[in-house]
């Protein structure tokens, strides 16, 4: 019997919590990228890339020369980063005119124009690499996330990111996950309690018999607004963890058969998250076991930058070419 068949026939223990909030699969509405965060990231990027200005553009280009540039796709994908591209250009030329032709979260084809900018040529070229680096990475994340999300359509599971992000770029990368139809896990260590194996080892002193009481003590200290999740790496840990009243239980590196068994054992008493060794080749099978959430570090930690280019033409007769 395969794991999917097991899921439909496994016994359902009593005691499911009626108040458990549903996990809605599918893409969530896109959030707004806070302008202050984007500006801080761009400021740091320009300090790194042009700490004392762009001496190449300043030497070669007349101060008042203007140019039009198009962000053009060299390969197909899902776009993310329109506000970042715009802010990068405007940071170098406050009077730059920026046009977005492909909305965030929408697909584009090879050769398609995605965004356009007209402004001072020096400013456009100074902003070029920073704008490209960020939009290429964000679009790569959105594109890869869309592929993961496509593979689990109709299963009732959602795909989420992790904290395995580029230092300093987490807000942009999490936004890109949303553009690809994925969901976000906790933003930072300050947002939720997620007890992993090392936490549990210290908390219990290595004594499994202390697990329920130790976690219940943690639960009693938390405000009602704080989400409490615990990672387990064996079937035997599930009941002691559930007895402490956790909100989500993470089944780490479980086989498909173990996931089916774990989902049946939890039986709605907590949300069930699958984590570990998730890839494009395995996610569909994992989703069919009945888990609610599948967290995928690969959405952000190992993407290849999408090939986008900035094609520049000198403005003629005061109009765009």
Dist CA 97 CA 64 (whole Å): 15
> Which residue, 85, 75, 83, is CA-closest to 112?
75
**Tokens of residue 258, six digits:** 């173990």
> 136: helix, coil or strand?
helix
Residue pair 277/31 in contact (Cβ under 8 Å)? The answer is no
Torsion angle defined by CA atoms of residues 146, 147, 153 and 159, in that order, rounded to the nearest 10 degrees: -70
196, 210, 219, 320: which is the annotated catalytic residue? 196
The DSSP letter of residue 131 is H
39, 49, 113, 129: which is the annotated catalytic residue? 129
39, 99, 147, 252: which is the annotated catalytic residue? 252
In sequence order, what DSSP letters do the residues of 199-253 get, joined into one string? Answer: HHHHHHTT-GGGHHHHHHHHHHHS-TTS-EEEEESSGGGHHHHHTTT-SEEEEET
104, 173, 231, 273: which is the annotated catalytic residue? 231
Is residue 196 among the annotated active site residues? yes
164, 210, 219, 320: which is the annotated catalytic residue? 164
Is residue 164 among the annotated active site residues? yes
Is residue 54 among the annotated active site residues? no
Beta strand residue intervals within 13-151, DSSP E: 66-73, 77-78, 97-100, 107-108, 113-120
Q: Which residues contact 102 (CB under 8 A, 6 or more apart)?
A: 79, 82, 108, 112, 114, 115
Is residue 304 among the annotated active site residues? no
Residue 5 phi/psi, 5° resolution?
Answer: -65, -40
HSE, CB side, 13 Å, CA atoms: give it for residue 289: 26
Bridge partners (DSSP) of residue 276 are: none
> 25: helix, coil or strand?
coil
Is residue 12 among the annotated active site residues? no
User: Catalytic site residues?
Assistant: 129, 164, 196, 231, 252
């Amino acid at each position: 019997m395969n794991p999917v068949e097991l899921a439909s026939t496994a016994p359902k223990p009593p005691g499911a919590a009626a108040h458990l909030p549903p996990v809605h699969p599918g893409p969530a509405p896109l959030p707004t990228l806070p302008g202050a965060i984007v500006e801080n990231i761009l400021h740091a990027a320009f300090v790194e890339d042009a700490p004392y200005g762009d001496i190449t553009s300043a030497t070669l280009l007349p101060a008042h020369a203007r140019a039009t540039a198009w962000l053009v796709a060299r390969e197909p994908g899902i776009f993310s980063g329109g506000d970042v591209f715009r802010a990068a250009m405007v940071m170098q030329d406050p009077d730059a005119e920026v046009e977005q032709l492909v909305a965030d979260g929408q697909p584009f084809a090879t050769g398609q124009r995605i965004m356009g900018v007209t402004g001072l040529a020096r400013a456009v070229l100074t902003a070029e690499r920073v704008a490209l680096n960020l939009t290429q990475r964000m679009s790569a994340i959105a594109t890869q996330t869309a592929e993961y999300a496509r593979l689990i359509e109709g299963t009732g599971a959602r795909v989420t990111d992790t904290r395995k992000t580029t230092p300093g770029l987490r807000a942009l990368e999490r936004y890109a996950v949303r553009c690809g139809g994925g969901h976000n896990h906790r933003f930072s260590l300050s947002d939720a309690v997620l007890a992993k194996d090392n936490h549990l080892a210290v908390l219990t002193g290595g004594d499994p018999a202390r697990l329920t009481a130790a976690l219940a003590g943690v639960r009693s200290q938390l405000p009602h607004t704080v989400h409490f999740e615990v990672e387990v790496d064996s079937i035997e840990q599930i009941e002691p963890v559930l007895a402490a009243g956790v909100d989500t239980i993470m089944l780490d590196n479980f086989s498909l058969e173990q996931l089916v068994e774990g989902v049946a054992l939890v039986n709605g008493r907590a949300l069930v998250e699958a984590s570990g060794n998730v890839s494009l080749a395995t996610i569909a099978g994992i989703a069919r076991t009945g888990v609610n959430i599948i967290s995928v570090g690969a959405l952000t930690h190992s993407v290849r930058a999408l090939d986008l280019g900035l094609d520049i033409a000198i403005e003629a007769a005061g109009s765009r070419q």
